Each structure stands twice: as C-alpha cells, then as structure tokens.
Structure 1
Amino acid sequence: MITPLALREKAETQAARLPALLARAEQLAGAVLLGEHGRRRAGMGDDFWQYRPAQIGDSRRMIDHRRSAMGDVQFVREREWQIAQSVMLWVDQGAAMRFASNDNLPSKAERARVLGLACAILLIRGGERVGLTGTRLPPRRGNAQILRLAEMFTEDADADYEPPEHRAMIPHARAVFISDFMGNIDDVKTALTKAADRGVRGVLLHVLDPAEEAFPFRGRTIFESVGGTLEHETLKASDLKDRYLARLAERKAELQHLCGVAGWQYGLHHTDHTAQSGLLWLWRALDGGRART
C-alpha cells in the first residue's frame, strides 16, 4: 500500500509543473474570506491593480500623488480584491478503484488519489481552503492540511463501489469528484442535485483503465470484482463486448447530462495517459478555462 508521504511526493511532483491554481469564486457568500491571491476587481487587498482618475467621494488618502504629479489629473491607486474559496474534494476509495489491467499501469485509485492531492496542493498554494466533502475534514489551508488529505486518501473502502459524499457542502463553494463512476448512477444524481441546491459548482473527473474502454477479452473469461462480491464466467467474452461498450457509452452520456444540469464540468481521464494531462484538465476546469478531455 502506498504511504501518505509517498503519495504526497508523487502529488508534489505533479503540482510543481503547473502554476498555482486559482479556484474561481462566482458568488461572494458563505465561503468567501480575504485570501492570498487577487481577483481582477477593485477592493480590499495589498496588491496593486491599476490607476484610475479620482472621482467625487474618493478619500484624499486614496490619491497617488506621485502618479498625479505627472499631469493635471489626480489618480487613485486601486488594489485587487483578494478572496479565497473553499474547495471540497471527493476521491472514490471503493475497491473497484484498485483495478489495473496490467502491472505497467497505475490503478485507478492511485491515479485518482495523486490527481486529487496534486489539485489540493495547487489550490492551497493559491490561497484556497481545501477539505473533503462530508464532516471528516473541513476546508483549511496550510501544509498540515495537505498531509491530512494524504493520510485520508490512503484509506481503502471494503465495498466495491462508494457513493459520492455530499453531506456538509458549504454553500456557493466549489467541489471536485474523482471516480470511475461504475456504481449506482442514482447516487451520483443525488450528490450533484444536493450540490446544485446549495449553489456548489464543480468538476467531475471520470477515471478509467484503458481495458475498460477497449474490452479486449476473448474466449473463456471469469470477471470478478476487486472486492470479491461479484463474479461472472463466460465462454465467449467477445460476445459481451458490444453490450458492454453500449452500457459504458450510456453511462458517460448520463454523467455528462447530470453535470450539465448541475452546472458542473465533465472530464474523462485514462490511466495510460500522463497524470499531468489529468491535472492540467482539472486546472483549466476549476480556473474557468476551456477544459479538454
């Protein structure tokens, strides 16, 4: 089993290659506080943003006399309004996530945990507060919080499929869900509906092993869940391929639809692709850019 320190080292490696992530705060309520990064908006803060001509009602203390001395117009030195956002993570710990089709690939769980922790590192370095959905680890900042996240991400669940945790979501915060989403789709629908009801916007990253996309099985095959609760034997595995791929396409379409209704973004990541590509997608999605799968 990967240790918390080893997981953090892998996540730090991924996070070091990207600029600090700024989670976009769309509503200034509940989860908003003065933070350590600027939004391009005038207000309270320490970082200079722009000069503008003085207006009626501006305090004389706001006037920048050095800039004003360059002409006949008095100028005010505006600063950026600095806000920090609470971001909640849910990384699937279910037994099915421990699947890897060969020894040269990371398991879905390992990739999901590294991406989740790397995302948290970028967010915290950008001044955001990060925690887990539910009540076990409320959003906080600092290196100690990164270690707490790493410790919790190394825990394994016994059940094959874990439902997304949706309790104690902070109104108007952001959220990140990372899973293979092979379990009951109703659990995902419930979580996204509750998130939308509280004004929580976020991203859903669908992590799959390449064998789950290609279904390369032929002949006599025994399919067994990682947790050992499900088993199916067939003499002609290839006969199941078309039906399986149709079900997988249906699941992707359902997830995309649920995300669209809830105002979330959907992304797909395969474990044979680089972890950096998955982290880059998360960065673009959370930062409000055009995400590519």
Structure 2
Amino acid sequence: MSLSAALSLRREAEALAAPLPPLLVAAEHLAAAVQIGGHGRRRAGAGDEFWQFRAAAAGDTARSIDWRRSARSDAQYVREREWQAAQSVHLWVDGAASMQFSGAPSRVPKAAQAQLLALALAVLMVRAGERVGLLAPPLPPRPGRAQLLQLAALLAAPGAVAGDYGAPGATGIAAHARAVFLSDFLGDTGPVEAALAAAAGRGVRGVLMQVLDPDEEAFPYDGRVIFESMGGTLRHETRQAGDLRARYLERLAARRALLGGLARAAGWQFGTSHTGQPAALALLWLYAALERGR
C-alpha cells in the first residue's frame, strides 16, 4: 500500500470512528445515572446460583427434593436455581427525516435522543448479560462491549431512511425475544400494527417509545406559519395557526391512544418522552417497561 493510500485510509477510519466515543460515552454516563439495582432477570430456571426454596408440589421428582432443608420440617422442599439464560433484545431506531426535527437550538433532534436512549439501554442490557442487536441496519444480537461499539457505529452513522416517516418491521426478530421500537410514530400506523402483530405471533414482547419535541406536544404556534415536513414532501400555510391548536392536540391524543391500544393488544408496553425532559427519566421507564413485558 502506498503512503498516500495509507494516509487516505487512516483519514477515512478516523472520520468513521469520530462519532463513536461521544455517543458511547454519553450512553454509558446515562446508563450509570440510572440506578437499576437488580436487573430483573431473577426467576426460577436452569442455572448454577441458588434462588429460593419452595414447597414440593405434584410432579416434582424425588431427585429435586432438598432433603437437608426438608429434614428441618414436616414438609418437603425443592431448591430452585436462578434463571440465567441470556435473552435477545432487538432495537429499532427510526432514522427517517421527521426524526431530525428540533423546535429549538437548545434541544437535540429527536433522532439524537432516540439513539442515545437505545444505546444506553443496550449498555444496561449487556451489563445484565443479555444479547442486544439492531433491526435496521441489521446487526444480530450479541453480548459484550465489542457489540456496543458496533451498535454505536451504526447508530451514529449518517444517512436517514428515505421518506418523511419511518416504519418498523418484525423481520429478523427471534422468537420469544424482546424488542424496542423508538420513533415519533407520526406516519402511517399500518406498518406499526403489522410489525406488532407479526412479533406477537412469534411470542415477542417489547416496548414502543414515542419520542417527540416539546413543540410537537404543545403546538406553541400562532399567527402566520408555514408548516413543512423535514423531507419537504408536505407543506401547509396558515394565517391563524392558533386556531389549529385544539384540533392538533386532539389528533395527537388520538394517535397516542391508538398506539397504546396496538401495544396492549400485542402484549407490549407504550410510553412517551420528549427531548426537553432528562433522558434518564425515559431510560428508567424504558428499562422497567421492558422488564415488565417478560
């Protein structure tokens, strides 16, 4: 390899690696700020660590009885061990144009918030011994810090999904795994419903997290305003924006009710967050919701 080629390769590598440390460091700091305690995976099953004694029941074999514990009482007891099988968690972070919206220079775009939450959640999952991956671009679930580096690289890579709004899919989600979809969910809800139905059919549980900008929740506009989608495909001009506020808020509430209903029907959790809130609050809820969905 020539010197010029080597230098060019180094510049490309440095450019590729540049976004990794800030995103991963921010995600790890966010994960560290969330005091989870026990990670919620303690339950009976195959494993090496003692979990609890329970009274023997019909169907328990004589081999499963802990005779030393049983000798101290008139009942027979079974020694249960902690469930230790690692679970697969699939993440989908909407990269469509609408996710680049920010209503104020002091706030990050929705995409940045969603990427940070996804990677911080992955940090918590990996610490708990789980396998984490991405649905798009596809990255099979794996454990370990090396996987976190790949996740950070893919999440920080430039290039939005074509179109104003993104749509999740269930292709690639392992049966009985868990999944998290992070999006503003402002586009067509048909693909969301289809993805949830397909996931539920394979025993997949998960979480829908709607990420919005505070302006999208409060609609603080008045007077003459030109509304244009981030992709430039939609445009609406009005001289009385304030007159639209009530109808907008009604439609937003109806959209959230619909998403919540779709999630419940599939056995999933639905939550909302906006970029004006501390990300730690959203991460804490997201982690707890994912555990409740087991």
Decide: shared fold, TM above 0.5. yes
Shift in Å, 1:134: 5.5
SS of alignment partner, residue 292 of structure 2: coil
Q: Work out which structure has the larger RCO, using CA pairs closer than 8 Å and 6 or more positions apart in sequence.
A: 1
Aligned match of 1:196 = 200
Shift in Å, 1:162: 1.2
Matched, 1:102 2:118: no
What percent identity do the matched residue pairs reach? 52
For the Cα contact (< 8 Å) 1:134–1:169, is it kept in 2? no
Shift in Å, 1:129: 0.7
Aligned match of 2:27 = 11
**Match 1:224 to one of 228, 232, 246:** 228
Hey, what's the Cα distance between the residues in 1 that align with 2:54 and 2:241? 70
Matched, 1:112 2:102: no
CA offsets, 1:57-99, max 9 Å, x none?
3289x777xx899999998865323121111111111111111
Aligned match of 2:42 = 39
Partner letter of residue 19 of structure 1? I
Shift in Å, 1:165: 2.6
Hey, what's the Cα distance between the residues in 2 that align with 1:94 and 1:263? 26
For the Cα contact (< 8 Å) 2:169–2:192, is it kept in 1? no
SS of alignment partner, residue 141 of structure 2: coil
Identify unmatched segments of 5+ residues in structure 1.
24-37
Shift in Å, 1:53: 8.8
**1:276–1:72 CA distance, 2 compared to 1 (3 A):** same
Hey, what's the Cα distance between the residues in 2 that align with 1:71 and 1:175? 45
Aligned match of 1:130 = 132
CA offsets, 1:230-255, max 9 Å, x none?
22222221122222112111111110
**1:20–1:175 CA distance, 2 compared to 1 (3 A):** farther
Hey, what's the Cα distance between the residues in 2 that align with 1:171 and 1:221? 47
Coordinate RMSD, CA, aligned: 2.8
| Number of residue pairs the alignment of both structures matches | 271
Quick check: which one's helix share is greater?
2
TM-score, scaled relative to structure 1: 0.82
CA offsets, 1:15-60, max 9 Å, x none?
112337747xxxxxxxxxxxxxx6331x432323245799973289
Shift in Å, 1:261: 0.9
Partner letter of residue 162 of structure 1? G
Hey, what's the Cα distance between the residues in 2 that align with 1:216 and 1:68? 68
TM-score, scaled relative to structure 2: 0.82
